């Protein structure tokens, strides 16, 4: 699948991994809809990138809002071929402890945003891709979702986050199988510790400890490295139904 001359939707595209992905896709010649809750950052990014970038204020759990963003992405001068989901949140708490059981509402919220939000974007984007003509090879589009190494190496206090990301990893193959007959591929990336706005808020000592834990390269991942893998997945037609760890061979300890 070519990036140039195709349309893309990036959920959570105003910052971090999503912003880097937006920049990479626009640089590659795509028309990109940036879907995010952060209107200030999203509008600024779209203004910087020019006429091939459009911002839409959406909550990924809102069916109507995501549907509207998909319609805008599909209504561009080029067909919607690429959908990337980067929106996500976290919550730290043990299943049970001295303060009692893990609160139910934060668990539900993390699942709602990370898992259901990702599914919401993927299902609506795929339905729109179905309306477009296939390429010469029979391909209509590609969906790239964001899991995490926490899907496999969840740490203490990561029960909600790990559950949501594990589900994203697990739905990759059945989604790819569901959509194979219509020429839509589905992959997921499971990043390790990346230098995103979330980690930027940590003390430098904590950031250095996280970087030192990565076997090689012993540093935090760069968002542009995530974006480079998104671009490769889009362009490599044989990548389908795969969850790719992007973590410098990091295996997270219990805490």
Q: Tell me how long the chain is.
A: 255
Q: Considering the entire predicted model, what is its pTM?
A: 0.95
Q: What is the 3-state secondary structure (H, E, C) of 6-71?
A: CEEEEECCCCHHHHHHHHHHHHCCCEEEEEECCHHHHHHHHHHHCCCEEEEECCCCCHHHHHHHHH
**C-alpha–C-alpha distance, residues 166 and 30, integer Å:** 30
For the annotated catalytic residues, the residue numbers are: 161
Query: 11 has which bridge partners?
Result: 35, 85
Name, in order, each residue with C-beta under 8 angstroms of 205's C-beta and a sequence gap of 6 or more: none
β strands within the chain, DSSP E? 7-11, 31-36, 53-57, 80-85, 96-97, 100-101, 141-146, 184-191, 243-246
Neighbours of 53 (CB within 10 A): 23
Q: How many CB atoms lie within 10 A of CB 168?
A: 25
165 phi, psi to nearest 5 deg:
-75, -35
Strands across the sheet containing 7-11:
53-57, 31-36, 7-11, 80-85, 141-146, 184-191, 243-246
The arithmetic mean of pLDDT across residues 166-191, rounded, is 98
Residue 201 predicted with pLDDT over 80: no
The model's pLDDT over 117-171, given as tens digits with 9 standing for 90+, comes to 999 999 999 999 999 999 999 999 999 999 999 999 999 999 999 999 999 999 9
User: Domains in the chain, start-ordered, CATH in brackets?
Assistant: 7-246 (3.40.50.720)
Tell me the two tokens of residue 109. 């919220």
Cis peptide before 217 (omega within 30 of 0): yes
pLDDT at 5: 96
Task: Name the token pair of 26.
Answer: 């626009």
Per-residue pLDDT tens digits for 22-67: 999 999 999 999 999 999 999 999 999 999 999 999 999 999 999 9
pLDDT digit string (tens) for 223-238?
Answer: 999 999 999 999 999 9
Contacts of 181 (CB under 8 A, 6+ apart): none
């Amino acid at each position: 699948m070519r990036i140039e001359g195709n349309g893309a939707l990036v959920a959570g595209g105003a910052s971090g991994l999503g912003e880097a992905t937006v920049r990479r896709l626009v640089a590659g010649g795509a028309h990109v809809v940036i879907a995010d809750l952060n209107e200030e950052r999203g509008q600024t990014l779209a203004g910087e990138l020019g006429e091939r970038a459009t911002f839409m204020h959406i909550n990924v759990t809102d069916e109507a809002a995501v549907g509207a963003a998909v319609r805008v992405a599909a209504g561009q001068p080029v067909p919607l071929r690429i959908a990337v989901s980067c929106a996500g949140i976290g919550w730290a708490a043990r299943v049970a402890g001295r303060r009692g059981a893990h609160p139910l509402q934060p668990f539900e919220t993390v699942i709602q945003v990370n898992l259901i939000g990702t599914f919401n974007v993927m299902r609506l984007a795929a339905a729109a891709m179905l309306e477009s003509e296939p390429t010469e090879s029979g391909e209509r589009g590609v969906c790239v979702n964001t899991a995490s190494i926490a899907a496999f190496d969840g740490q203490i206090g990561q029960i909600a986050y790990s559950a949501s990301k594990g589900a994203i990893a697990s739905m990759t193959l059945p989604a790819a199988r569901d959509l194979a007959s219509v020429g839509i591929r589905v992959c997921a990336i499971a990043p390790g510790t990346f230098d995103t706005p979330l980690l930027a808020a940590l003390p430098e000592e904590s950031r250095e400890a996280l970087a030192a834990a990565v076997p090689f390269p012993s540093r935090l991942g760069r968002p542009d490295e995530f974006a480079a893998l998104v671009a490769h997945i889009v362009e490599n037609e044989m990548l389908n139904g795969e969850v790719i760890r992007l973590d410098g061979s990091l295996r997270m300890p219990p805490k």
